[in-house]
Amino acid sequence: MSKYSIDQFIQQTEQEDKGEGFFELETPRILEVNLDGQVWAKAGSMVSYTGKIKFEREGIFEHGLGKTFKKAFTGEGTSLMKANGNGKLYLADSGKKVIILHLQNDAIFVNGNDLLAFEPSIKWDIKLMKKVAGMMAGGLFNVRCEGTGLVAITTYYEPLTLKVTPGKPIITDPNATVAWSGNLKPEFQTDISFKTFLGRGSGESIQMKFEGEGFVVVQPYEEVHMKQNS
């Protein structure tokens, strides 16, 4: 068999059951959900499915925040969908790397753009980053996932986890910050000279400061979703 034949290609790339349960990493960038009931997933993340599955879209801000915010923040990053039924569901998000986390009575904050899917057993709530609302549209909000169950998050390229320890705060770029432990509450600070140093346009550089004890996950990529001037 030629190593470039269609048969060889199919053999190398075909779906295979790994027996890992509800969530499986089908490839590093595609999540397989063995659905028998319900799962929450990022709107627009479905790439394929088998079986009988129904999809219902829900505005993420309808869950926890009032109608005031519903009109102000729109887009793919602000919506979840419920998938109900039986079958295999394949999810992906712009070719980003998929990471499965099994929470065991834990809590984790995930940037709203980087949350791919989670089990219905997970309690979730929306947290708005009010201090950056006027400056950037991406990373405006994050989702607090808590409880016991599986959560799938996405990162551009390989993530790096930084430990936060007392007396040694971690400073991050909000656009490169993917997730952090549920006990941490980041503060926002600005640095005009840092912005100038980077050679970016006018305005201040916003940074996230994590203090205490926990962890922060960053990615080697800035998801920039700047607010458009009307």
184-189 contacts, C-beta under 8 A, 24 or more apart: 184/109, 184/210, 184/211, 184/212, 184/214, 184/216, 186/210, 187/211, 188/129, 188/131, 188/132
Query: What pLDDT, in 10s, does the model give residues 24-43?
Result: 999 999 999 999 999 999 98
Q: What kind of fold does domain 21-218 have according to CATH?
A: Double-stranded beta-helix (3.60.160)
- What percent of the chain has pLDDT above 70? 74
pLDDT tier at 137 (50, 70, 90 boundaries)? very low
Q: Residue 40 contacts by C-beta under 8 Å, 6 or more apart in sequence?
A: 80, 81, 82, 83, 117, 118, 119, 120, 122, 124
Query: Is residue 48 classed as helix, strand or coil in its secondary structure?
Result: strand
Tokens standing for residue 62: 């309808």
Cβ neighbours, 10 Å, residue 77 = 22
Q: Assess contact for 198 and 191: CB atoms under 8 A.
A: no
Write down the pTM of the prediction.
0.81
The pLDDT tens digits of the residues spanning 177-220 come to: 999 999 998 988 877 665 555 555 545 578 899 999 999 999 99
